[in-house]
Structure 1
Amino acid sequence: MVRPPYWIGQRLLTLAIKRWPKFHGAMLLPTGREPLDLPLPSLLDVISAWWVDGGTEKDVAGFRQALEAPPATAELKSRSFLGCTSLSMAVCALTAGIGAESPVAAIARV
């Protein structure tokens, strides 16, 4: 879970933080382990397992789908602006204002 897309890890951590007493107790009581002593990938797996525990397959699938859905800003970052997709939008917009050629062609020469 500690790999792109990073919003999955962020969402799992937020889930546990907002319910910390419940999560901490559910982890500490049966195992005696402090959740924050776990490596981050393991902690994220534990949070995910804790949240879906006892849920139906449909509930788990819905949780996974919501968890993996990109945030609105991820969609905006992938959009093209003035023909630019992979370069900084500020550089692209600046280049577009300097010359008549396509911003992508101008930046490609650099």
Structure 2
Amino acid sequence: MRDQQAVGRVSIQPLLAALDVQEDAARALADGLRTQIEELQSQLREAETRLEHLAITRKTVTALADRLPAQTSGRPARAPWTTPASSLSSTRPSPPPPGP
């Protein structure tokens, strides 16, 4: 009688083993995705920081441009703290004379 009962039962061990394999694969995928998310979050933080720096730079440049005198000719206005290139040439030392 006992043999007849064993024949009628199905062993669930292969099913449990297959579930273990699927769980391991799903766990590995989830771990990989978490790693990718962490890397993307880091890249996002870097991009947002860069955007903040660019916004500060734009604000600074705009504020400096507002301080420049208005343009009266077709030439771009020169910042008051810069020196024209023509005045620099007179301050350059002369090249040494050729050797004997």
Q: TM-score, normalised by structure 1?
A: 0.28
Q: Name which structure has the greater RCO, CA cutoff 8 Å, separation 6+.
A: 1
User: What is the TM-score with the length of structure 2 in the denominator?
Assistant: 0.30
